[in-house]
């Protein structure tokens, strides 16, 4: 037979039940303790990393309504970044249904508090909503934050749409 070791660090016993000396019982206990600490600490580290990647600037094209002069677009924005945005201006390119560039414009979303949704509307003169195939967010013209991280607004963009006009970036 072999030696039987008690996991909690008690002395091993021989098959006949006699206690046998162990030369390094503390090493086994230390290894078990370190392994359990590592296992317990791992989910905390992963959760912290997941929270860092969750920081986003969600912009949803929520509604599009044709007007006599063109198209009225409504956007829902949620700033899940750690800091409020003091000013956000995005460069947008409107493409027609055939994929050709129709209009280059700027959308001034203004200030966006952290963790709170905001709705912004833009009345565009020119093509009707039915003539717009997609909107490309070409980049951030202005992104003013208290943290002052360069490229933060562009890197955190999470674009989506609820209408037939694609929002890409």
Same domain, 63 and 45: no
pLDDT tens for the chain, 169 residues long, are 454 444 444 445 555 555 544 444 444 444 444 444 444 444 443 333 344 456 899 999 999 999 999 999 999 999 998 889 999 999 999 999 999 999 999 999 999 999 999 999 999 999 999 999 999 999 999 998 876 666 778 889 999 999 999 999 9
d(CA 38, CA 73): 51
Q: What Rg do the C-alpha atoms of the chain give, in angstroms?
A: 29
CA atoms within 13 A on the CB side of 106: 9
Q: Which of 37, 54, 71 is the last residue of a domain?
A: 54
Q: Which residue range is the domain that position 158 belongs to?
A: 57-168
Contact indicator for 155, 57 with CB cutoff of 8 Å: no
DSSP 116-162: -EEEEEEEEESS-GGGEEEEEEEEEEEEEESS--TTHHHHTEEEEES
pLDDT, tens digit (0-9, with 9 covering 90-100), for 51-89: 445 689 999 999 999 999 999 999 999 999 888 999 999
Mean pLDDT of the chain: 79
Judge if 120 and 64 occupy the same domain. Answer: yes
3-state secondary structure 36-86: HHHHHHHHHHHHHHHHHHCCCEEEEEEEEEECCCEEEEEEEEEECCCCCEE
Examine the domain organization and report whether 109 and 125 are in the same domain: yes
- Structure tokens given for 112: 């966006």
Q: What is the DSSP string of 10-21?
A: PPPB-TTS-B--
Q: Are residues 61 and 80 in the same domain?
A: yes
Q: What is the pLDDT of residue 152?
A: 79
Integer Cα distance of 146 and 141 in angstroms: 17
* Same domain, yes or no: 114 and 42: no
Token match 């956007």: residue? Answer: 75
């Amino acid at each position: 037979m072999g030696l039987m070791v008690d996991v909690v660090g008690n002395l091993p016993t021989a098959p006949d039940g006699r206690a046998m000396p162990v030369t390094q019982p503390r090493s086994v206990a230390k290894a078990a303790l370190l392994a359990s600490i590592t296992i317990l600490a791992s989910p905390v580290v992963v959760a912290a990393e997941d929270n860092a990647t969750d920081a986003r600037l969600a912009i949803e094209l929520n509604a599009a309504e044709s007007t006599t002069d063109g198209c009225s677009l409504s956007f829902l924005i949620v700033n899940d970044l750690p800091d409020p945005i003091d000013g956000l201006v995005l460069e947008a390119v409107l493409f027609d249904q055939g994929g050709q560039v129709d209009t280059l414009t700027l959308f001034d979303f203004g200030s966006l508090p952290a963790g709170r949704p905001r709705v912004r509307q833009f009345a565009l003169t020119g093509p009707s909503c039915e003539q717009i195939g997609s909107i490309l967010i070409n980049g951030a013209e202005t992104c003013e934050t208290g943290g002052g991280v360069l490229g933060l607004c562009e890197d955190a963009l999470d674009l989506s749409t609820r209408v037939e006009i694609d929002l890409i970036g």
